[in-house]
Amino acid sequence: MTGIASIRELMTRNMRQSGIYIAFVLIIALFAILTDGLLLSPGNISNIVLQYSYILILAIGMVIVIIAGHIDLSVGSVVAFTGAVAATLVIKDGQPWWVGVVAALVVGLLVGAWQGFWVAFVGIPAFIVTLAGMLLFRGATLLVLDNISLSPFPREYGQIASGFQNGLIGGQGFDAFTLVVFGIAVAGYAFSQWRSRQAKLRYQQVVEAFPLFVLKIALTGAVVMWFAYQLATSRGLPNVLIILAVLIIVYGLVTNRTVFGRHVYAIGGNLSAAQLSGVKVKWVNFWIMTNMGFLAGVAGAVYSSRSNGAQPAAGNMFELDAIAACFIGGAAVTGGVGRVSGAMVGGLIMGVMSNGMQLMGIDQSVQQVVKGLVLLLAVAFDVYNKRRASGSR
Amino acid sequence: MPADTEVPPVVQMRGITIRFPGVLALDHVDLTLRPGEVHSLMGENGAGKSTLIKALTGVYPVDGGTITVTGTDRTFASTADAQAAGISTVYQEVNLCPNLSVGENVMLGHEPRRRGVIDWRATHTEAARHLEALHLDIDTRSPLSRHSIAVQQLVAISRAMVLDSKVLILDEPTSSLDRDEVDQLFGVVRDLRDRGVAILFVSHFLDQVYEISDRITVLRNGALVGEHAVADLPRDALVTKMIGRELHDLESLSRTAHRAVDRSGEPLLSARGIGRRGVLEPADLDVYPGEVVGLAGLLGSGRTELVRLLYGADRADVGHVSVRGERARMTSPRHAIDRRMAFSSEDRRGEGIVADLTVAENIVLGIQAQRGWARPIRRSERDAVVAEYIQALGVRPANPDAIVGNLSGGNQQKVLLARWLATAPELLVLDEPTRGIDVGAKADIQHKVSELSAQGLSVIFISSELEEVLRLAQRIAVLRDRRKIGELDSGQVDLDGLVDYLANAGKGSAA
C-alpha cells in the first residue's frame, strides 16, 4: 500500500474535500474576471472578511452540530438577542464596552445550555427545539429592545469588528506586523504538513510525490502571503480576522484532537455504536448545543459591533447562511462527516459569490436564486458521491 | 476441545424470566457459559434467543432469575454495566462508526491522551497491537467504510478485546459473509477460545454451528429445551428440538397435497439459476397453475431471500425469471405486481400492515395502488370488497373501521391476506403467514390457501412449521445455508423424512 500518488489520484481519492477547494478557486477566478479584478482589490478583500466574519463564526459551531446529526435554526435570533443585551447594557446603562462583550458571551452560553437541555436530556429533536428557539429569542430580542434600535456604541466596542492592528512594528507603506503574523502562520502550516507527511510515510500510506508536496506548500504559502500583502497595504490586520483565526485553530484542534470532538463524529456516524461504546451521548449533545450558543454569542458581539448598534431584525436568516456554508463545505446531510476548514471554505464561497454579485450590481433577488442553486448542487454532489461509493462496495 | 464441565463457569443464568405485555418471552431459561468454550444458542424465530442475549447484555431487565458473572450476582441496568462486567457483543449489523478510521473505532471511548488531547500515534499503535493479537493485518489509519463487512466484523471483535472481555457474544456474525470470510472469522474465534474467552455464538447456519461449537443450548417458544455437548446431538435431533412437535387441532385439515396438479402445461412462474452473491446461490424453481409450492428450511436458509428475488424486492445478479414462458424483468415489485404476483412479507409489522389505518384502508391499499391515483375506488365498491373479505376470512372484530394496530396478530395477517387477494393475483407468495398467530386464525388461513389453490391460484408458501408445509404444499423445495438442496414431493415424504433431508442431505459437499 505504500507509494507515491499522482495528482489525478489525489484529486479523485478525495473529491469531497479537494472538490470544494477547486470550486473555491474557480469561483474566485470567475468573479475576479467578471468584476475586472475589483474583487481582489485590497480594500474589497478585507471587506469580504469583515462582512462574512459572523457567518463564519456561526458556521464553526454549526458544522459541529451538523456532524453530530443535528441542526440549529435559532442562531440568527440568538445573534440578535445577545447583541441586544450587549447594546442595552453598554448604550442604555452606560456600562464599559467589555461588560457588553462578556454579557453577550454569557447569554449565548445560557441560551445554548437551555437548548442543549431539551435536545440532550428531554430528547426533543434539535430541529424542533431550535425552531422554537428561533421564535423565542426573536421575541426576547424585541422585548429587550422594546421594539426600537439602539445605537451608537462607544468607539471601543466598535473596534471589535471594525478595528485594525496597524503600524505596531512599523513599515514603509505597508503594515509589517500583518506580514510577520502571516509569515509565522505559513511557516507553521508548512511544518505541520511536513510532519503529517512524515507520519504517513512511517505508516506506509499513500502520499504525494515530494516535488508535488513542495509545490503545494509553496503555492498555498504564496497565495496566503499575497493575501497578507493586500491587507498590509490596505488597513492592516482586522481584529475580526484575529478572532476568527483563533476560533478556527481552537475548533480545528477540538474536532480533530480531543475526545469530545471525536465523540461528536462517532455519534454522527453511528449513534448506537457510540452509545454501546460508552460514549456519554447525552452530555456530548448538551455541550454541542451549548457551544453553538456560545459561538452565537461571539457572533452577536461581532455583529452588533460591526453594525454599531442593535436592531430588532438583526441576524435574520443567518442560520441559513451558516447551514449552507457547512453543506457546501462538504458536511454530510446524514451526519458523521464534515470539517471546520470545509465549513470555512463553504462560507467564503458564499461570501465571495455575494460580494462579487454585489460588485456587479446584480439584484438581491437574483443573488438569492444563485445561492439557493449552489447549495442544492453542493448537497446533490455529496449524495451522488455517497451513492457511488456504496454502490461500488 | 470441549472444556470439562468442572471448569467454573464465567456466566450462569438461572431461571431467567422476561415478560412483555401479553407475552411470556422467556420462561425460566438457564444458560451457562464456560471459559475457553464456544457455546451455540439455537432456536427458530421467536424462540427467545435475542431476548436472552439482551437480558445478558443489560438491554432488558429480567423479571425473574439470576445472572451470575464469575461467582457474583449481577443486575445489569444498562449495556455499559454488562460491558464493565466483561460481556461484549458483536452484532449482525456491525455496530461501528463507518466515518471514522479503523484505529479510532477499535479505541473508541478508550483513546490514549497526552496533555489533554488525543495522542493519535499511541491510538494507532495500540489499535494495531490489538489487531495483531488476532493476527489481523489492517491499516489502522484507513477509514472503516473502505473495508468489507467481514473485516468490519473482525474490527468489532478487536474492539471487544480492548474492553478485556471475558465473554464475547457473536449474534449472527456470519449472515453476510462468504466462505473464506467465515473461515477467517472462525480462526479468530478459535484463537480467542484458546485464550480462555467464553464465546456465545448465534447462527442459523447448521454447518457453521457444528464446525465451531463445543456446546449447544436449544430454546423453543421462550423455554429451554436443553443443553447438549455437540458430540451428543446429531443434526436431525437438533432440528427436531428446534422445531418441536405440536399436536394441533389442525389434523382434520385434509392433506391437499394429495390433490393432483397438472404439470403438463407451461409453468406460471419459472426461475432459472436465480441468485445473488452473498445472499443466495443460484437456484431453479417452477410453479404451475393451481399448485402450492412449499419452501422448507430454517430461518436464514435462503427461503425469504429466494422469494424476494422472484418478486423483484431484491435484485438478482444472476439468472432469470419467466412468467408463462415469457422472460420477465423483475427489478421492482411493480414489475411483479403487473404480472399478477402478490407478496406478503414475513415482517408483518414492518413491511405489511399500516398499523395506524383502519381495516378497510389496509385492505384497499393494494387495489388502489394498482389502479393509480386518477381512479379512486368508489365508496360503495370499497365497502363491498372490504365486507366480502372480512366475511370470507373471518376477520375479528368484523368492523371495517377498526384500527389495524389494535387487532391480534392473526387478524392482522388476515387483513394482509385480504389486501393481496383483493388484487386478484395469479401467484401469491406467503412468507410465514402463520407465525405467532393463534391456532384458530392459523387454521382459517390454511383453509383459505387450500381452497384458493383448488380454484387455480398458485401459491408459494413459506413456513418454519414443517408440518404446515407438508400439509399444504404439493411440492416442497428444501433450502439450507443459502442453497436450494432439492425438491420433494410431499405425497412421498413424512415429517421425519423431511427433517432428515433438511438436516443431512448433501452434507459434506456444502462445507
Q: Kindly state whether residue B136 falls inside one of the protein's structural domains.
A: yes
> Do both B187 and B276 map to the same domain?
no
Q: What is the mean pLDDT of residues A225-230?
A: 86
Range A4-166+235-385: architecture per CATH: Orthogonal Bundle (1.10)
Q: Kindly state whether residue B3 falls inside one of the protein's structural domains.
A: no
In this structure, what are the phi and psi dihedrals at residue B423, rounded to the nearest 5 degrees? -85, 5
Supply the pLDDT for residue A280.
85
**Burial category of B391 from C-beta neighbours within 10 Å (exposed 0-12, middle 13-18, buried 19 and up):** exposed
> Do both B234 and B297 map to the same domain?
no
User: SS3 for B226?
Assistant: strand
Q: Does A270 touch chain B (CB under 8 A)?
A: yes
Q: Does B116 touch chain A (CB under 8 A)?
A: yes
For residues B41 and B217, the answer to whether their CB atoms sit within 8 Å is yes
What is the CB neighbour count within 10 angstroms for residue A163?
18
For residues A333 and A379, the answer to whether their CB atoms sit within 8 Å is yes
* Contacts B140 to A, Cβ<8 Å: 203
Supply the pLDDT for residue B508.
44
Which residues does residue B169 pair with via DSSP β-bridges, in sequence order?
B89, B200
Asked if pLDDT for residue B507 goes beyond 80, the answer is no
Q: Kindly state the cell numbers that stand for B435.
A: 407465525
> Do both B67 and B17 map to the same domain?
yes
> Do both B181 and B283 map to the same domain?
no
H-state helical runs in B372-406: 379-393
For residues B145 and B157, the answer to whether their CB atoms sit within 8 Å is no
Nearest to A270 among B83, B95, B109 (CB): B95
Supply the pLDDT for residue A391.
46
Strand locations in A226-316 (E): 237-238
- Please say which residue of B243, B261, B287 terminates a domain: B243
User: Of the candidates B278, B161, B138, B193, which has an alpha carbon nearest to the alpha carbon of residue B10?
Assistant: B193
Question: In the sheet where B64-69 sits, what is the strand order?
Answer: B72-74, B64-69, B11-20, B23-33, B223-229, B215-220, B38-42, B198-202, B167-171, B87-90
**Burial category of B248 from C-beta neighbours within 10 Å (exposed 0-12, middle 13-18, buried 19 and up):** middle
> Do both B288 and B189 map to the same domain?
no
Instruction: State the Cα–Cα distance between residues B29 and B48, nearest whole angstrom.
Output: 9
Nearest to B96 among A262, A273, A278 (CB): A273
For residue B446, what pLDDT band results from cuts at 50, 70 and 90? confident
Q: Does B80 touch chain A (CB under 8 A)?
A: yes
Q: Kindly state whether residue B279 falls inside one of the protein's structural domains.
A: yes
Q: Does A331 touch chain B (CB under 8 A)?
A: no
Q: What is the mean pLDDT of residues A95-122?
A: 96
Nearest to B99 among A1, A200, A337 (CB): A337
Q: Kindly state whether residue B471 falls inside one of the protein's structural domains.
A: yes
Task: Give the H/E segment covering residue A57.
Answer: helix A42-67
Q: Does B122 touch chain A (CB under 8 A)?
A: no
0.90 surpassed by pTM: no
Q: Does B411 touch chain A (CB under 8 A)?
A: no
Instruction: State the Cα–Cα distance between residues A339 and A346, nearest whole angstrom.
Output: 10
Supply the pLDDT for residue B509.
40
Q: Which residues contact A2 (CB under 8 A, 6 or more apart)?
A: A204, A205, A206
Asked if pLDDT for residue B256 goes beyond 60, the answer is no
Return contacts of A1-4, CB within 8 angstroms, 24+ apart.
A1/A204, A1/A205, A1/A206, A1/B139, A2/A204, A2/A205, A2/A206, A3/A206, A4/A206, A4/A207, A4/A208, A4/A209
Would you give the DSSP letter of residue A235? Answer: T
Give me the domain span that covers residue B479: 248-340+426-511
> Do both B361 and B398 map to the same domain?
yes
User: Of the candidates B280, B282, B286, B328, which has an alpha carbon nearest to the alpha carbon of residue B300?
Assistant: B280
Q: Which residues contact B171 (CB under 8 A, 6 or more apart)?
A: B50, B53, B89, B90, B91, B92, B202
Please name the amino acid found at residue B287. V
Residue A247 or B348, more confident:
A247
Which residues does residue B487 pair with via DSSP β-bridges, in sequence order?
B477
User: SS3 for A290?
Assistant: helix
Determine whether the interchain pair B99/A389 forms a contact, defined as Cβ–Cβ distance below 8 Å. Answer: no
Which residues does residue B275 pair with via DSSP β-bridges, in sequence order?
B318
**Mean model confidence pLDDT for chain B:** 85
Q: Kindly state whether residue B213 falls inside one of the protein's structural domains.
A: yes
Instruction: State the Cα–Cα distance between residues A142 and A163, nearest whole angstrom.
Output: 28
Would you give the DSSP letter of residue A88? Answer: I
Q: Kindly state the cell numbers that stand for B8.
A: 467454573
Percent helix, strand, coil in chain B, to 5, is 35, 25, 40
Mutation to test the B interface, candidates A277, A284, A333, most B Cβ within 10 Å: A277
Q: What is the mean pLDDT of residues A67-86?
A: 96
Among left, alpha and beta (phi > 0; psi -120 to 50; other), residue A361 is: left
If you measure CA to CA, which chain A residue comes closest to B89?
A: A276
Tens digits of residue pLDDT in B4-52: 556 788 999 999 998 876 567 888 999 999 999 999 998 876 678 888 9
- The enclosing domain of B181 has a CATH number of 3.40.50.300
Closest-CA distance, B87 to chain A, in angstroms, reads 12
Q: Does B71 touch chain A (CB under 8 A)?
A: no
* Boundaries of every domain in chain A: 4-166+235-385
**HSE-up (13 A, CA, CB side) for residue B89:** 24
Q: Kindly state whether residue B5 falls inside one of the protein's structural domains.
A: no
Asked if pLDDT for residue B253 goes beyond 70, the answer is no
Strand locations in chain A (E): 4-5, 164-165, 207-208, 237-238
* Contacts A283 to B, Cβ<8 Å: none
> Do both B199 and B225 map to the same domain?
yes
Supply the pLDDT for residue A249.
92
Residue ranges of B 187-246 with Cβ closer than 8 A to chain A: none
Q: Which residues contact B177 (CB under 8 A, 6 or more apart)?
A: B149, B150, B153, B185, B278
Q: Does A249 touch chain B (CB under 8 A)?
A: no
Q: Which residues contact A268 (CB under 8 A, 6 or more apart)?
A: A67, A68, A69, A332, A334, A335, A336, A337, B99
Q: How many domains does chain B have?
A: 3
Closest-CA distance, B506 to chain A, in angstroms, reads 32
Instruction: State the Cα–Cα distance between residues A350 and A358, nearest whole angstrom.
Output: 12
Q: How many contacts does A have with B, using Cβ atoms within 8 A?
A: 68
Tens digits of residue pLDDT in B457-504: 999 999 877 888 888 898 999 998 889 999 998 888 888 888 888 888
Instruction: State the Cα–Cα distance between residues A227 and B45, nearest whole angstrom.
Output: 66
* Contacts A336 to B, Cβ<8 Å: 97-99
Candidate from A2-16, A288-302, B293-307, B419-433 with smallest mean pLDDT: A2-16
Determine whether the interchain pair A269/B104 forms a contact, defined as Cβ–Cβ distance below 8 Å. Answer: no
* Contacts A332 to B, Cβ<8 Å: 99
Q: Does A250 touch chain B (CB under 8 A)?
A: no
Residues in chain A: 393
* Contacts B95 to A, Cβ<8 Å: 270, 272-273, 276
* Contacts A337 to B, Cβ<8 Å: 99
User: SS3 for A200?
Assistant: helix
Q: Kindly state whether residue B440 falls inside one of the protein's structural domains.
A: yes
- Please say which residue of B394, B424, B454 terminates a domain: B424
Q: What is the mean pLDDT of residues A259-287?
A: 87
Supply the pLDDT for residue B439.
66
Tens digits of residue pLDDT in B69-106: 988 888 888 878 888 888 988 876 667 888 899 999 99
> Do both B319 and B465 map to the same domain?
yes
Q: Does A203 touch chain B (CB under 8 A)?
A: yes
> Do both B320 and B363 map to the same domain?
no
Question: To 5 degrees, how large is the angle CA A230–CA A236–CA A239?
Answer: 120
For residue A393, what pLDDT band results from cuts at 50, 70 and 90? very low
Share of chain A above pLDDT 70, in %: 92
Nearest to B99 among A258, A265, A277 (CB): A265
- Please say which residue of B408, B424, B440 terminates a domain: B424
> Do both B95 and B234 map to the same domain?
yes
Determine whether the interchain pair A259/B111 forms a contact, defined as Cβ–Cβ distance below 8 Å. Answer: yes
In this structure, what are the phi and psi dihedrals at residue B364, rounded to the nearest 5 degrees? -80, -5
Tens digits of residue pLDDT in A129-155: 999 999 999 999 999 999 899 989 898
Q: Kindly state whether residue B4 falls inside one of the protein's structural domains.
A: no
Asked if pLDDT for residue A392 goes beyond 50, the answer is no
Instruction: State the Cα–Cα distance between residues B56 and B58, nearest whole angstrom.
Output: 6
Determine whether the interchain pair B118/A276 forms a contact, defined as Cβ–Cβ distance below 8 Å. Answer: no
User: Of the candidates A212, A192, A320, which has an alpha carbon nearest to the alpha carbon of residue A256?
Assistant: A192
Q: Does B102 touch chain A (CB under 8 A)?
A: no
Please name the amino acid found at residue A297. G
* Contacts A200 to B, Cβ<8 Å: 141
> Do both B253 and B134 map to the same domain?
no
> Do both B434 and B393 map to the same domain?
no
